[in-house]
Amino acid sequence: MKGPGVFLAQFMGDAAPFDTLASAARWMAEAGYVGVQIPTWDPRCIDLARAAESQDYCDEIKGVCAEAGVEITELSTHLQGQLVAVHPAYDAAFDGFAPPEVRGRPDARREWAEEQLRHAARASRRLGLDAHATFSGALMWPFVYPWPQRPAGLIEESFAELGRRWRPILDAFDEAGVDLCYEIHPGEDLHDGVTFERFLQEVGGHPRANILYDPSHYVLQALDYLRFIDIYHERIRMFHVKDAELNPTGRSGVYGGYQDWIDRPGRFRSLGDGQVDFRGIFSKLTQYGYRGWAVLEWECCLKHPEDGAREGAPFIRRHMIRRPERAFDDFAAGSDPGLNRRLLGLDQQEDRP
């Protein structure tokens, strides 16, 4: 496992030091991070279309990060991925994720988003990256609770359409040699293991369709996030280290009562302030040979982001596990085929008439 890394999306802004990639990367390096995950929709960080076409530009971006003391962990197209599949109920809400020229035009907006994903595949290859973060988008989220009763075939058609939209994008990532990792997230059609499995069926078990594992979103659904690793570890290629808590009351539970984040029973917290069992998570990921990055995604309704970031790097470093090069009891090991047969009583059986 590599790290600690940090996702820059929640930190970038108009004020220094988070107004440029160079200064943000330096700040994160000083805070103890060795990698940064880059949001591709933020022009302060990267020009995605240019990165897709220019190796010189990609080398320049890598150089900016290296000079600051970090490397690029992955690129992210969370906002663009969201626009690959948008139910009409959310058209106005998600239009702000797209450039002005395609707002109010769902088909044009989707075409723009799909092209952004193809740019991301090529840019990732030029940057020497092997994994990419995104969202699946959502056609069926308004129907997540089955009331009124869903018409027969509605969900099946939704997953089929989602597969049709993403299959050519997955092929583009396959051509680039990059895993496309969907963050399993409420509000997305891929929000738990069952929905990921159904999507995987629709794309023919595509080898590039993988998972960005973020336990905070499973805590808020009361999902067993440790067992999730046991089931899906072969598809987990990215890891957001983010904490959360779920404290249901007699008045509100998982759905949150439309309350602000600070008042919801389920809310995100800075690392170490929530309920996530990170010792268990890091142990399981190490057990299954996870080789990707451990990347802080800071989201907290209580703590200042700079404090959360400064605490996050040493927290991740403490939890990372360096695998041993040999078994702890190798000192007592030996190799004697004859002894093995005697211990099993096989030689005695062969001596019998």
State percent of the chain over pLDDT 70: 98
- Enter the tokens of residue 255: 């759905």
Q: What is the 3-state secondary structure (H, E, C) of the chain?
A: CEEEEEECCCCCCCCCCCCCHHHHHHHHHHCCCCEEEEECCCCCCCCHHHHHHCHHHHHHHHHHHHHHCCEEEEEEEHHHHHCCCECHHHHHHHHHHCCHHHCCCHHHHHHHHHHHHHHHHHHHHHCCCCEEEECCCECCHHHCCCCCCCCCCHHHHHHHHHHHHHHHHHHHHHHHCCEEEEECCCCCCCCCHHHHHHHHHHCCCCCCEEEEECCHHHHCCCCCHHHHHHHHHHHEEEEEECEEEECCCCCCCCCHHHCCHHHCCEEEECCCCCCCCHHHHHHHHHHCCCCCEEEECCCCCCCCHHHHHHHHHHHHHHHCCCCCCCCCCHHHCCCCHHHHHHHCCHHHHHHCC
Left (φ > 0), alpha (ψ -120 to 50) or beta: where does 205 sit?
left
User: 2-351: what fold?
Assistant: TIM Barrel (3.20.20)
- Predicted confidence (pLDDT) per residue in 38-56, tens digit: 999 999 999 999 999 999 9
pLDDT at 353 over 60: no
The residue count of the chain comes to 353
CB proximity list for 283: less than 8 A, separation 6 or greater: 321
Q: Predicted confidence band at 59 (pLDDT cuts at 50, 70, 90)? A: very high
Q: Answer yes or no: are the C-beta atoms of 316 and 281 closer than 8 Å.
A: no
Range 283-307 average pLDDT: 97
Q: Predicted confidence band at 265 (pLDDT cuts at 50, 70, 90)? A: very high
d(CA 323, CA 321) in angstroms, rounded, equals 6
State percent of the chain over pLDDT 90: 92
pLDDT at 69 over 60: yes
pLDDT at 196 over 80: yes
pLDDT at residue 326, rounded to an integer: 76
CB proximity list for 220: less than 8 A, separation 6 or greater: 186, 244, 246, 254, 266, 267
d(CA 215, CA 274) in angstroms, rounded, equals 11
pLDDT at 333 over 60: yes
pLDDT at 70 over 60: yes
Range 167-178 average pLDDT: 98
Bridge partners (DSSP) of residue 2 are: 293
Residue among 46, 55, 166 at smallest CA distance from 118:
166
pLDDT at residue 127, rounded to an integer: 98
d(CA 278, CA 320) in angstroms, rounded, equals 10
d(CA 270, CA 255) in angstroms, rounded, equals 21
pLDDT at residue 332, rounded to an integer: 67
Provide the Cα torsion 63, 68, 70, 76; round to 10°. Answer: -70
pLDDT at 352 over 70: no
Beta-strand pair 209-213/179-183:
parallel
pLDDT at 350 over 70: no
Residue among 295, 291, 286 at smallest CA distance from 313:
295
Task: List the chain domain ranges.
Answer: 2-351
d(CA 312, CA 32) in angstroms, rounded, equals 9
Range 285-301 average pLDDT: 97
